Amino acid sequence: MGFYTVSNVEDMRICVVMVGLPARGKSFISQKIVRYLSWLSIKAKCFNVGTYRRKVGPAHPDADFFDPSNKEGSQVRQNAVTEAVKDMMAWFSEENGVVAILDATNSTKERRRWVLKLCRENAIEPMFLESWCDDKELILRNISDVKTSSPDYEGIDPEVATKDFLRRISNYEKVYEPLDSDCDKDLTFVKLINVAQEVIVNGIQSYLESRVVFYVMNLHIRPRCIWLSRHGESVYNVEKKIGGDSSLSPRGLQYAEKLPEIVRKSAGDVNLTVWTSTLCRTQQTAQHLPYKQLQWKALDELDAGVCDGMTYEEIEEKYPEDFKARDDDKYEYRYPGGESYRDVVIRLEPIIMELERQENILIVTHQAVLRCIYAYFMNVPQEESPWMSIPLHTLIRLEPRAYGTEVTRIKADIPAVSTYKEKGTSKLGESSSDATAKFRNLLNGAPPSA
Amino acid sequence: MGFYTVSNVEDMRICVVMVGLPARGKSFISQKIVRYLSWLSIKAKCFNVGTYRRKVGPAHPDADFFDPSNKEGSQVRQNAVTEAVKDMMAWFSEENGVVAILDATNSTKERRRWVLKLCRENAIEPMFLESWCDDKELILRNISDVKTSSPDYEGIDPEVATKDFLRRISNYEKVYEPLDSDCDKDLTFVKLINVAQEVIVNGIQSYLESRVVFYVMNLHIRPRCIWLSRHGESVYNVEKKIGGDSSLSPRGLQYAEKLPEIVRKSAGDVNLTVWTSTLCRTQQTAQHLPYKQLQWKALDELDAGVCDGMTYEEIEEKYPEDFKARDDDKYEYRYPGGESYRDVVIRLEPIIMELERQENILIVTHQAVLRCIYAYFMNVPQEESPWMSIPLHTLIRLEPRAYGTEVTRIKADIPAVSTYKEKGTSKLGESSSDATAKFRNLLNGAPPSA
């Protein structure tokens, strides 16, 4: 319930114009915003000018290419941004885009005024988002990310790449004009200073803009992990029933007993906080964990409404049309008197926001809820996420990195029934699409802009 | 789902230290924060130094009293803030307070460092919140509010009061030092410039602080109204059943037909947006309204879980213990498989945030949901709000003002059953506590600080 109804944003179009020197985390922030909004069903896309530049210019340009006095380089870069903006405008008008991110340095006032004018001519609300940073350590970490992951330095010796990249940054510094509360009073902008140590927000117009601002304000880049687990096998699981508030089966209780050891092996001495739902089976699963525990109503299982407590076979028999409708569009299908996956995503939004703020959290919750949380971190599209396999008695460890999330699955080696229902049948069995999940082991983002 | 589980904040104590010249809306903001947090069950209290100053000093001090060179005046004011802080510390330790607001000008660095030191010595996290304003019109509007509502000017000719108040402001201006991103880098602070045209946020530590920041960022002071209505009488209402997703009764349909006229009479030509729940009865009620409409799942009725579709008599018979438990603590009681009032408040939090941002909204929703929304605007305590009478076929108009919310109830003159259940019985009847609601016609806040 944390967010917009879909129709609420339909007549709004926002262009988030990134601003900042190279190695200030612009691409990282851009991709996180796109992922967050997409997860909330708000159509968002990142237009990375670096990618366009590599299409129209040299594949591995050195720092001289970025010297403001280099006429040829400047022309190529101007062509690149022009192409990116052209594609962005087409995306807004032909594909009904809602939030575009123009990921580039946009380092001069002149360039920003040019983007501003184009946006205004096309009835698009521009919001400038500057990442300003003078924290040496932070910059060095970003440089190290770029030199290892940017296509600009593919196949180039890391030491050479670092030196060249530092020269590139100084070339940008020659002309860089930060956003300024006085001169840019008329713009809608957000200035993040050293990630979000200080944030300056100017002239925010819409709720959607304010949500993006709140989201980026909550980001941090301290290393951390998130652990996810379903509750142990429950009595209802064994009876093939969905929903309810049943206790754990004997095997589920075994999992609860083993969980502290599995967690300790994965997390070491890190001090975790455990989040459970308000339902009995998650709390029983977490009962032996030696950490602080919090219950969230928002982590309760997808509400199956009138079908709560039934088996899939019963649902197929009693509500054949609903049964089919759910298989046809599982993300949107709402049980009579209950919820859809979309509803669950909306109520999980504050959980995601809090997860972004926190460091080391272990979440013990339910199949549908975990699918939604997993989809956020792994960028799984809506049509796929409700079909992901998240087996019982398995601990999942997510490690968010600069350009993706690493995932590790640790099986507890305690047998459990499968609760995975294939499309088009009421039978439960191990999922063949487990393979899909396995291949999503690293989130692929756009290459970092440089 | 929008917010904290209660246990999450128990070991956190925050002092919001207001900063700003007189007539900058500090008391308005303070009271809104207290109301918002209290509604979310976070224990919050405002300590208005002006109130303390009137206790220890003259009842109607003139501007000379506030001259920084007036030794006696300065001493009285120092005593007042000392008393306020003493009470605040006692409230934290004896009453387990979570968020205190120290509502005063706190206009010098010296004063702020003094508060900072006291907070740190008592393990309280200080967050400075400055309202900085150079918008003449805004200041004049605030001055006009203060001269008519401040006890300092009680019984004094408005023209004399205005002149004196302007002199008082200039006395403060002599020593006022605004918060500064450079000198105050080590502080947690928020600086609101001309309400929220520009916002500077520095060093936010906790989620609770970030929520307060997000809340004040969304405030506006443009005049507006909010209209509330329950759906028309439904088939279930007539059958005395709770929950479900039934259609309107013939009288309910009559109300739907009459609603556009009633709204037009109250709102005039103002262009409204209508928010309904996803349930049939609210959409049928709104069907003839000539405004843009949005459906929110978050506006659905309190989920009665296993009791959905039953009459109160059936509940009393089938679940006598639950029936009694609910009467004993209606705010906390959660239907098995359903929700409590507390759960509803948490899922309504984003609705309230969006309402704060918007101008003219008409909400058509359900009894329990309206009680929660009404409680937010009218500052109704938790033990009372689930018992408020919100009759069918009645339009409620809320007009938020500087120091309270004005409420008007417009009856449609179409008969409907009563859905009001008195404590301790399963019978439905008109509520005697309707009187309570009627007396709450103006929210009483603390007097404005000056």
Task: Give this complex's ipTM.
Answer: 0.72
First to last CA, chain B: 38
Look at residue B430 in the predicted model and tell me its pLDDT: 56
For residue A281, say whether it is annotated as part of any ligand binding site: yes
Binned at pLDDT 50, 70 and 90, residue A223 comes out as confident
Report the Cα A129 to chain-centroid distance in Å.
18
Contact check, Cβ <8 Å, A203/B202: no
Kindly report the number of other CB atoms within 10 A of residue A379's CB atom. 18
pLDDT at B437: 41
Q: Which of A196, A203, A337 lies nearest to residue B198, judging by beta carbons?
A: A203
List the one residue out of B280, B315, B327 whose CA is nearest residue B300. B280
Instruction: Give the list of residues 6+ apart from residue A111 with CB closer than 8 angstroms, or none.
Output: A81
The closest alpha carbon to A20, from A154, A127, A176, belongs to A176
Specify the pLDDT at position A182: 86
pLDDT at A450: 39
Nearest by CB: A198 against B181, B196, B348: B181
| Residue B322 falls in the annotated catalytic set | no
Per-residue confidence (pLDDT) for residue A430, from 0 to 100: 56
Quick check: A210 and B357 CB within 8 A? yes
The two beta strands, B404-411 and B394-401, are: antiparallel
Q: Give residue limits of the domains in chain B.
A: 11-217, 226-443
Task: Read off the pLDDT of each residue in A127-140 and give the average, rounded to a whole number.
Answer: 92
Spatial distance between the Cα atoms of A387 and A379, rounded to a whole number of angstroms: 14
State mean pLDDT over A102-107. 96
Q: Count A/B contacts: CB-CB distance under 8 Å.
A: 103
Q: pLDDT tens for residues A228-243?
A: 999 999 999 999 999 9
Phi, psi values for residue A234, rounded to 5° = -105, 170
Q: Is B236 annotated as a binding residue?
A: yes
Burial letters for A46-65: b for 16+ Cβ neighbours within 10 Å, e otherwise?
bbbbbbbbbeebeeebbbeb
- A349-372 confidence digits (pLDDT tens): 889 988 998 889 999 999 999 999
The shortest CB-CB distance from A347 to any of B218, B303, B347 is to: B347
What is the pLDDT averaged over residues A401-405? 76
Fold of B11-217: Rossmann fold (3.40.50)
Q: Which of A152, A209, A231, A349 does the annotation list as catalytic?
A: A231
Residue B36 is predicted with a pLDDT of 95
Q: Does domain B226-443 have CATH number 3.40.50.1240?
A: yes
The proportion of chain A whose per-residue pLDDT surpasses 70, expressed as a percent, equals: 92
Residue-level pLDDT at A142: 84
**CA-to-CA distance for B290 and B287, rounded, in angstroms?**
8
- Position A274 pLDDT exceeds 90: yes
| A343 contacts in chain B (CB < 8 Å) | 297
pLDDT at B297: 85
Buried b (16+ CB within 10 A) or exposed e, B219-248: beeeeebbbbbbbbbbebbbebbbbbbbeb
Contact B419, B392 (CB under 8 A): yes
Does B393 show up as a binding residue in the annotation?
no
Residues in chain B with pLDDT < 50? Answer: 1-10, 431-450
Cβ neighbours of residue B338 closer than 8 Å, sequence gap 6 or more:
B302, B303, B304, B305, B306, B307, B308
pLDDT band at A446 (very low <50, low <70, confident <90, very high): very low
Q: Do B201 and A202 touch (CB under 8 A)?
A: no
pLDDT tier at A428, thresholds 50, 70, 90? confident
Active site residue B64: no
Q: What is the pTM of this model?
A: 0.80
Query: Quick one: which of A84, A94, A96 has its CA closest to A17?
Result: A84
More confident residue, B338 or A111: A111
User: What is the percent of chain A with per-residue pLDDT over 90, rounded to a whole number?
Assistant: 68
d(CA A86, CA A49): 11
Q: Which residues of A touch chain B, with CB atoms under 8 Å apart?
A: 1-3, 5, 7-8, 181, 185, 196-204, 207, 210, 213-214, 217-218, 245, 294-298, 303, 308, 336-337, 339, 343, 346-348, 350-351, 354, 357
